[in-house]
Amino acid sequence: MKKDLLTTNDFSREEILSLFEKSTALKEKRKKGVEHLPLKGKSLGMIFNKHSTRTRISFEVGMNELGGRALFLTGDQLQLNRGETLKDSAQVLSRYLNGILIRTHNHQEVVDLAKHATIPVINGLTDLNHPVQILADIFTIKEKLGKIESVKIAYVGDANNVAYSWMTGASLMGMELVIACPPEFKPASLPQLHGNGKVEIIEDPFEAVKDADIIYTDVWISMGDTGDLEKKEKILVPYQINQKLLNATGKNSLVMHCLPAHRGMEITSEVLDGKDSIVFDQAENRLHVQKAILETLLSQPSQ
């Protein structure tokens, strides 16, 4: 039976740990220049309705390094924008491809695509969820700290799709997550949580970062945001990750940002480029973890 990755909860804790073992092995193979082509002859269709740097490049390079081929597609290039249904598109693409990556606005589009496709579907980001980012982030934390369980993450800023995904990831993997955000930008809804991790949403960023192993943030103005964005930025000013907030952890905490960063807005350059930042290691690990995801899902027998 085919398996999809639409949310972090689509994998069990044991499957994620196995995925991380594979990610470590793939990272080492790449470092040593060892050829590894388990997806030779296989094709991944990549549907992008949102701009991308890390997601597109890491998946495209990853598929190539595994011996397969990635096809970059946009809504303008497909018939979806001219009225063809997701159901029809899913059935056609399933006849041509071995997997589909989709990066779009409405999460329901991804759910519907997976429902009708007979090949694995991977969520490359929606307005609700970003599972491939969170899996790479947790892998990076394990790599840097040597553990996952009981690690405390303080997510500071706009409680967007990345924060929403962190809730499911932290809960599933036994981590402690404290989200600090103003009342105006709390999550509209909470995901279904599994596992023994702890998730808390508070208002005070300085309270949130106490004893945190990781301080994490994302952009304040996301793709597709509407409304009074200048007002939103002003409300979020107290949630900037700067040296003062980093010092408030009371320990040697590490800093993460899923990028792209708006320097001087949600994070200062001093912190982003500082000794405690693992932001670019985090970005690199998107490649290794996503290669592990591709190998795991696309190596499944065809239906």
Average pLDDT, the chain: 95
0.75 exceeded by pTM: yes
Measured at the alpha carbon of residue 261, what is the angle toward residues 295 and 293, in degrees to the nearest 5?
5
Does the pLDDT of residue 223 top 80, yes or no? no
Per mean pLDDT, which range of 22-26, 30-34, 48-52 is the poorest?
A: 48-52
How many whole angstroms separate alpha carbon 268 and alpha carbon 262?
9
Catalytic residue at 262?
no
Marked catalytic residue, from 4, 56, 218, 288: 218
pLDDT tens digit string along 49-89?
Answer: 999 999 999 999 999 999 999 999 987 788 776 678 889 99
Catalytic residue at 282?
no
Marked catalytic residue, from 103, 107, 257, 288: 103
Asked if residue 145 lies in contact with residue 213, where contact means CB atoms within 8 angstroms, the answer is: yes
**What proportions of the chain, in percent to the nearest 5, are helix, strand and coil?**
45, 15, 40
Marked catalytic residue, from 107, 130, 257, 288: 130
Looking at CATH, the fold of the domain delimited by 8-130+286-298 is given as Rossmann fold (3.40.50)
Q: What is the mean pLDDT of residues 102-125?
A: 97
Does the pLDDT of residue 214 top 90, yes or no? yes
pLDDT confidence of residue 278: 98
Report the b/e string of 85-107 with b at 16+ CB within 10 A. ebeebbeebbeebbbbbbbbeeb
Q: Where in the chain is the domain with CATH 3.40.50.1370?
A: 8-130+286-298, 131-283
Catalytic residue at 10?
no
Q: Which pairing describes strands 152-156 and 214-217: parallel, antiparallel, or unpaired?
A: parallel
pLDDT tens digit string along 141-150?
Answer: 999 999 999 9
260 prior amide bond cis, ω within 30? yes
Catalytic residue at 4?
no
Marked catalytic residue, from 54, 56, 257, 286: 286
Looking at CATH, the fold of the domain delimited by 131-283 is given as Rossmann fold (3.40.50)
Secondary structure (3-state) at 293: helix
How many whole angstroms separate alpha carbon 132 and alpha carbon 138?
10
pLDDT bin (cut points 50, 70, 90) of residue 301 is low
Catalytic residue at 258?
yes
Please give the backbone phi and psi of residue 249, each rounded to the nearest 5 degrees, phi first.
-70, -30
Marked catalytic residue, from 158, 213, 258, 282: 258
Please give the backbone phi and psi of residue 164, each rounded to the nearest 5 degrees, phi first.
-60, -45
How many whole angstroms separate alpha carbon 160 and alpha carbon 166?
10
pLDDT tens digit string along 235-255?
Answer: 999 999 999 999 999 999 999
Catalytic residue at 56?
no
pLDDT confidence of residue 170: 98
pLDDT confidence of residue 303: 54
Does the pLDDT of residue 151 top 90, yes or no? yes
Per mean pLDDT, which range of 86-90, 187-191, 282-286 is the poorest?
A: 187-191
Secondary structure (3-state) at 209: coil
Marked catalytic residue, from 54, 133, 257, 290: 133
pLDDT confidence of residue 83: 73
pLDDT confidence of residue 302: 56
